[in-house]
Homo-oligomer: A and B are copies of this chain.
Amino acid sequence: METKRNFSAKREAIYKVISSTNTHPSAEWIYDQLRQEIPDLSLGTVYRNLSVFKQNGKIKSLGVFNGQERFDYDTSPHSHFVCECCYEIIDIPGGVSFFERNTYRYIERECGVHVEGHSIVFFGKCKKCIIKDQR
């Protein structure tokens, strides 16, 4: 059996940042959070570890918004709201995101594909941006 190492101080730190925020961060945001604590951290390391986490299934990519890929440590099914002004991403509480299993089957039948997941994103303007624009 291969013994996978799967530990490093920096990896832990990166995971801690992403799993302790509800900001759905980008690589750079994580990097900025850690610079003070870990001055010799490299942005490449953040990218490499995010890639590892993604493959592990420890995090999920929410897609690219405003040019940056955004991540979520909460891999349970839920949907998101993205502000088109400031690109804040927030979780939507409740079961808005769920599809019946039948929906997957329907698509598979209808399109001849195999469905493995889905993503629901609502767009609009967040509270802060609404207020900001009223001034």
Q: Give the chain B neighbours of A90 by CB distance below 8 A.
A: 111, 113
**Chain B residues positioned under 8 Å from A52 (CB to CB):** none
Q: Which of A1-9, A11-19, A114-122 contacts B (4 or more CB under 8 A)?
A: A114-122
Residue in A92, A99, A106 whose Cβ sees the most chain B Cβ within 10 Å = A92
- B contact residues around A84 at 8 Å (CB): 116
Chain A: interface residue total (CB-CB under 8 A): 34
Q: Which residues of B contact A120 (CB under 8 A)?
A: 118-120
Is the beta-carbon distance between A116 and B110 smaller than 8 angstroms? no
Contact residues of A with B, CB < 8 Å? 63-64, 81, 83-84, 90, 92-94, 96, 99, 103-104, 106-107, 110-127, 130
